[in-house]
Amino acid sequence: MITFEGPVLVTGTDTGVGKTVTTAALAVWLMRQGRSVEVVKIAQTGDDDDAAEVTRLSGAPARALAAYPDPLAPFAAARRSGLPLLGLADVADAVLDSRAEVVLLEGAGGLLVQLGESGWTARDLAVELGCPAVVVARAGLGTLNHTALTLEALARRGIEAAVVIGAWPVNPGLAEYENLKDLPGPRLGWIPDNAAALDPEAFRLAAAEWFDLPTRLGPM
């Protein structure tokens, strides 16, 4: 299992898999262990404010290093807006300057989405920082291939990783339970798909239980 010390990348198998709520839940889980946590959203696009949502749910301080108005991949969104692209070294320096024991780095989209100058990706940032990754995956059909490809891409660059199911359905079906048996990689936990709708107090009380996957999901 990965070690939560210094920076930890939170990436996904795709967009919309639950990275923000997973990041918030991880922040709560770590803070309940007595750890100081800061959340850094590498690049925000569109109208959402993921950093504010993390703080609302978890209470952890969170910030975005760049924001672009169009709901696109950061590289394309920066190009369309004319706003500056993030430099890989600048982002790494901003992360390493944090005084928190753990810095959770939320990416944008999937692992290999271009985030900044020269097309660097979340994987490149993890290599630069020498940090592990949490891979947020879907529960349903298609997740086995997407998760395996993401873990393989991380392993090829020597990045340790663990998997979180980002939105476990209230009424899981056959595919979800069978995928749970076959999902590759070390399993760190699961997040119920209604987690973001909880009020912050309920979210913070429940979050620790979401990282005890084998005993919480019922019969398989």
Report, as residue numbers or ranges, the catalytic residues.
Answer: 41
At 125, the amino acid letter reads L
Tokens of 161: 């990783």
Cα 156 off chain centre by: 20
Contact 106, 27 (CB under 8 A): no
Angle ∠(5,6,10) on CA atoms, nearest 5: 90
SS3 call for 99: coil
Query: What would the DSSP string read from start to end of 152-189?
Result: HHHHTTT--EEEEEEEE-SS--HHHHHHHHH--S-EEE
CA distance 13 to 192: 17
CA distance 151 to 111: 10
At 102, the amino acid letter reads V
